Structure 1
Amino acid sequence: MVLISRGIKSMQNILRLGSLNVTRKMSSALGVVEGTIRSKLQSALEAKHLDVINESYMHNVPKGAETHFKVVVVSDKFDGLPLIKRHRLVNDLLKEELHTGVHALSIIAKTPTQWDESDKVVESSPNCRGGFGK
């Protein structure tokens, strides 16, 4: 098990190696948008591994916001697809969320073989710089 600390006590993401993963904020329940993203990706992609990480707390948004996400999805459906088509597939599945409140979506899309060959550590996103390259 790999523990990645996000620097805020109430926001830790646990990445479990191997089987389907459930990533949640330790101090609060699964958010509505986060749950919808998880459900859509799991259902459509039959994910072998799935992390949905709410990174909104790293940005200048109200507490509890669901506007910035990172997804790590591993699926057989990515076999033979270049990275850009994998990202388009994920974006198409989440089109409604991206038009109704999700401001940013970081995507890591791998095949099971690529995932098995990786170190399975997801790098933390950089801190928000306030927008406009500040």
Structure 2
Amino acid sequence: MRALVIDDSRTMRRIVSSTLQRIGFDTVEAEHGRDALDHLEAGERVDLACIDWNMPVMDGLTFVTEVRANPAWRDVTLMMVTTESEQSQIVRALAAGAHEYLIKPFTADAIRDKLDLLGLVPAEELA
């Protein structure tokens, strides 16, 4: 499985990427939503996108809206991974098409649990 990690913080991209890699994902990183869309438009196939909300150029909510507007990317699972913790923000992201929402700071177990709920944890990881 392949994941696209979208965050303007290089440190956070590396933390999320390394956590996903330990679970069994290959990862590719993007600094903001526009960069991530460029990956998708270039034909990059991903099963999962982990998306920060607050980023320059294109924020995470706009990215989610853009992905959901394109039928070619309807199979991409979208998970917000952000500091935005207000209930109204969570509702907005889920209404826009995000499948899950994880609030920073998080643990590796929290990511694994969310992926398990989404059916994205490889079987060998669950054993």
TM-score (norm 2): 0.36
Higher-helix-fraction structure: 2
Q: Which has the larger radius of gyration?
A: 1
TM-score (norm 1): 0.35
Higher-strand-fraction structure: 1
